[in-house]
Structure 1
Amino acid sequence: MNSEKLRELQSPLKSKYKENPEEAIVTLSSIGKIGDGVTCKVDTGKAMVEAGLHPATGGDGMAACSGDMLLDALVACAGVTLNAVATAIEVDLGSNTEIRAEGDLDFRGTLGVDKEAPVGFKEIRLTFHLDTNASEEQIASLIKLTERYCVVFQTLNTKPGLVTKHEVVG
């Protein structure tokens, strides 16, 4: 895809959202069902993923770890955003461009071993390995715009409100 084709695809959407801001609000959702052992089956819309305990918390490593899935979502979103931004600003990225996310967890918090240990990632590092001949100025713009428009990056960075609810169904 080139920048002209991307603008052609997005221009009517941008116009519609400017005229009717409420149409830009879309609720995304995910549903999981408790599986065998200590697992949860999540239908991603493309494939069924079975998430389970990380080996550091007693899992056997056969099920996906939700922490890994969070990093996967960040990499996927950052990669798509990077590619879209590069297309829009006409920066060529080669096929060796790679996006990597790493995060540090202290499983003492997750397992309740140490109440002072945090539950969740202490730090997440997102690294772009760019296969490009772009100038430093273009690269700086590419990264800045990718950070600005990556939904998962911004969600993690700005900490949205989070509400839990429950229903008893049986």
Structure 2
Amino acid sequence: MPHPLFNNLDGLTTVSAGLFAGTAFYMSTQEVPAMRDLGLDENWRFFPYMYHRAFIAQGSLCSLAGVGSITHALRIINSDFDRKLWLGVGATFLAVLPYTFIVMVPTNNAICEDSKRVTEGGQSRFETGRRREMLETWSYMHLVRTIGSCVAFGVMVYGLARHGHLVFKQ
């Protein structure tokens, strides 16, 4: 008899994915534009606070959504389509992790380190135009994560709707 967690893995991973995608959507559509409206200096100072608070929560939710989806997929025995659907969304969420570390973290770190320097009374290493460009670049990189996670979450919801006919490994 499988552990009750396995019988509810699809729901748990979908909730994790929804929280990740919803947070990413909020950041891309509300938080980033609001920070632009406050101006470059405030946006530059705020970025490290936002980034450090989101990093652990978003990484945990993304990991749970990815690993949970793949684990769920491996339990499906009567439908190649559904197994591939859950493997695909799991791979999408897991792909966010290396994308974040390889593509985004260098920009994140540069902004955070320079912001700290400015907050402590030092001069920025970057000209105004370059700071604005770095924040815009970050927002576009984040938008990639937002779109990918929102699409994957939608596919998970579709996958849940199809569960009535699935048979799972015991």
**TM, length-normalised to structure 2:** 0.26
- Select the structure that is richer in helix: 2
Larger relative contact order, structure 1 or 2 (CA cutoff 8 Å, min sep 6): 2
